[in-house]
Chains A and B, each alone.
Chain A
Amino acid sequence: MAKQSNVVGVRRHRAVRYNKWGLIFLIPFFSVYLVFNLVPLVTTIYRSFFEYYREGRKWIGPNFVGIQNFVKLFSDSRIWDYGMNTLIMWVIGFVPQILISLLLASWFSDTRFKIRGASFFKTVIYLPNLIMAAAFAMMFYSLFNSDGYITRIVQQLGWADDNFNFLNTVWGTRILVGFMNFLMWFGNTTILLMAGIMGIDVSLYEAAEVDGANSRQRFWRITMPLLKPIFVYVFITSLIGGIQMFDVPAILTKNAGTPLVGTKWTSMTLIMYLRQTLTSRDYGTSGALSVVLFAITGILSLVVYRLMYSKKAKEA
């Protein structure tokens, strides 16, 4: 008995001696995270309570104004308009993305339905995800502007008059942005959904087959219900990505969010708005807008965390 407890004591002592290394190995990650993420978050929040901007050559502030920046931000119509633009362009990209990805994932993962060249197709559809969004948008700009390749083809075919320009129309611009987002992300979503489908227990399908279920029934009655958590994951992560939408519309419209209808910039996104406040040095508004975006993405992140990782974290 005494001997045994002695052994335990030795082991515990050794474990403690090694385990300090766990903390040491975390130092680089956390010191960098502290300096470049946490402190900036705190200063961003701090700045959101101060009036601080440049007017001509004169700096106003910083003066503490409480929640005035937030009141101003929300009483101005811009955040609502730009939020709506962002949402619309995200939806235009997301709806076809999820439908096509689901279709492709179900084909690629169906063992009965052997698709020849599946790995070739997977390689191709993932490719646009790795292309520089700025270059992709520039490429689309050169094809779809008033003198672009595709504009001229459309004109020559007589589908539009000679002054037609995709980028001068509200929906032309929005659909182009949504389409580029679709193109860049559907391959990624397909692979996520495939991983989800492959994770489903094969015996469920076998049992269903024995019971006489055809492939359509197997898909709707087994695959779809079991994929629900992954759908939610894809939905929310894509929404978080959508809120960050910047490169494509910024390049396509030269940071302006054109076309202008009435007083509304119809393809200006939230991050483009953030950039605008930074460039014009309206730091109070930048701060307030950042805090709002942080809150939204933070809440969405928590949903993803609860859905996917909380069990994982407990196990560790």
Chain B
Amino acid sequence: MSKKNTIEANANRSRKIFAYIVLIFLTVLCLVWFYLLFLSATQSTAELTTSFKFTFGSHLVENFKNALNKTDLFRGLLNSVIISGACAILTTYFSTLTAYAIHAYDFRLKGFVFTFILAVMMIPSQVTILGFVDMLEFLGLRENYTGLIVPSIAAPVTFYYIKQYMESALPLSLIEAARIDGSGEFRTFNSIVLPLMKPAIAVQAIFAFVSQWNNFFVPSQIIIEKRELKTVALMIADLRSADFKSMDLGLTNMSIFIAIFPVVVMYLLLSKNIVGGLALGSVKG
């Protein structure tokens, strides 16, 4: 009996060592790119093409100044913050409102509506881009942020996540109590339901912000001519159209660094809520 236990304990220990080796390897695999990126953002083109040192260069400040003065990157950052921020607010507010409509009320088409939203949840936006651009053309909204911001009001995935959360966090008796106290339906939603949904809204706001920040295909079809409207993602893609031999590599790497930096910082500050909250709404089938 005790012999069997020691064998099991030994097996467990070697399994554990194996697990740590794999985990550390994957950690390096995930992070090494950011290290290399930062490293190259500190070097000049000459340093980058003559040798490859694994130490920091001395051109960090210079590259940053070039990004600030020679490119529109900071304009792009501002544009992306405006678009992504607006999307985060609209997506979470209206998804909560839609979820509330399904959760708290009973009406004839409710089953159909819910089924419909779930069924279209996975259909990618790329497959209707042709008609979408037609629609923007028809409405006079090409080269304009409306086409990037307003559609985020209808976000099936966010809706589903918040609906899931609502089932566990919003008792209908509370709404009933608010009614008895004479609160109107819209006011009940704004002053009672929304605050209760805060944890779910926070997670989804971050996701909406990040996915809009990273969005590339749709904006590339809407904002083509007006340079001053370009988002960070579009500017990063534009870097690729330059010839590599004539690229200012330090500046290029600095630009990439600046483009991903805000998201990385936001994630690291809030990672506890994000990684924990992810599973919450995902699979509960």
B135 in contact with A133 (CB, 8 Å): no
Q: List B contacts of A142 (CB < 8 A).
A: 40, 249, 252-253, 256
- The residue that B26 contacts in the complex, of A100, A136, A229, A294, with Cβ under 8 A, is A100
- Number of B residues, CB within 8 Å of A: 102
In the complex, how many residue pairs between chain A and chain B have their CB atoms under 8 Å apart?
305
**Cα distance A135–B262 in the bound complex, in angstroms:** 13
A123 with B128, Cβ < 8 A, contacts A196-B283, A254-B240, A305-B119 known: no
Q: List A contacts of B128 (CB < 8 A).
A: 37, 40-41, 44, 290, 294
**Cα distance A302–B252 in the bound complex, in angstroms:** 43
- The residue that A145 contacts in the complex, of B31, B97, B244, with Cβ under 8 A, is B244
B267 contacts chain A at the CB level, 8 A cutoff = yes
**Cα distance A99–B260 in the bound complex, in angstroms:** 28
B151 in contact with A119 (CB, 8 Å): no
A28 in contact with B27 (CB, 8 Å): no
A36 in contact with B30 (CB, 8 Å): no
- The residue that A244 contacts in the complex, of B126, B134, B147, B150, with Cβ under 8 A, is B126
A127 in contact with B264 (CB, 8 Å): yes
B127 in contact with A294 (CB, 8 Å): yes
B260 in contact with A39 (CB, 8 Å): no
A61 contacts chain B at the CB level, 8 A cutoff = no
A147 contacts chain B at the CB level, 8 A cutoff = yes
A105 shortest CB reach to chain B, Å: 11
Q: List B contacts of A291 (CB < 8 A).
A: 127
* Closest chain B residue to A195, Cβ basis: B279
B135 in contact with A35 (CB, 8 Å): yes
Q: List A contacts of B159 (CB < 8 A).
A: 29
A39 in contact with B131 (CB, 8 Å): yes
Q: List B contacts of A191 (CB < 8 A).
A: 275, 278-279, 282
A70 contacts chain B at the CB level, 8 A cutoff = no
B275 in contact with A119 (CB, 8 Å): yes
B74 contacts chain A at the CB level, 8 A cutoff = no
B16 contacts chain A at the CB level, 8 A cutoff = yes
* Closest chain A residue to B188, Cβ basis: A21
A298 contacts chain B at the CB level, 8 A cutoff = yes
- The residue that A246 contacts in the complex, of B126, B239, B275, with Cβ under 8 A, is B126
CB contact list, B104-141 vs A, under 8 A: 104-107, 109-111, 113-115, 117-135
B259 contacts chain A at the CB level, 8 A cutoff = yes
A25 in contact with B97 (CB, 8 Å): yes
B225 contacts chain A at the CB level, 8 A cutoff = no
A197 shortest CB reach to chain B, Å: 10
A305 with B118, Cβ < 8 A, contacts A123-B275, A278-B130 known: yes
B19 in contact with A134 (CB, 8 Å): no
Contact with A along B204-246 (1 / 0, CB 8 A): 0000001001101100110000000000110011011100110
A308 in contact with B283 (CB, 8 Å): yes
A124 in contact with B216 (CB, 8 Å): no
A135 in contact with B260 (CB, 8 Å): yes
B16 shortest CB reach to chain A, Å: 7
A23 with B107, Cβ < 8 A, contacts A43-B130, A271-B126 known: yes
* Closest chain A residue to B267, Cβ basis: A130
- The residue that A313 contacts in the complex, of B37, B105, B111, B129, with Cβ under 8 A, is B111
A115 contacts chain B at the CB level, 8 A cutoff = yes
B23 contacts chain A at the CB level, 8 A cutoff = yes
**Cα distance A44–B189 in the bound complex, in angstroms:** 37
- The residue that A40 contacts in the complex, of B98, B134, B153, B256, with Cβ under 8 A, is B134
A22 in contact with B105 (CB, 8 Å): yes
B263 in contact with A21 (CB, 8 Å): no
A126 in contact with B240 (CB, 8 Å): no
A213 contacts chain B at the CB level, 8 A cutoff = no
B23 in contact with A290 (CB, 8 Å): no
**Cα distance A22–B108 in the bound complex, in angstroms:** 10
B240 in contact with A314 (CB, 8 Å): no
30 contacts between A and B (CB under 8 A): A20-B107, A22-B105, A29-B97, A29-B159, A36-B135, A36-B151, A36-B154, A41-B128, A43-B135, A123-B275, A124-B26, A130-B210, A133-B214, A134-B214, A134-B233, A134-B236, A138-B236, A142-B40, A142-B256, A195-B284, A199-B283, A233-B283, A240-B124, A251-B237, A251-B240, A254-B241, A290-B129, A297-B122, A308-B285, A309-B285
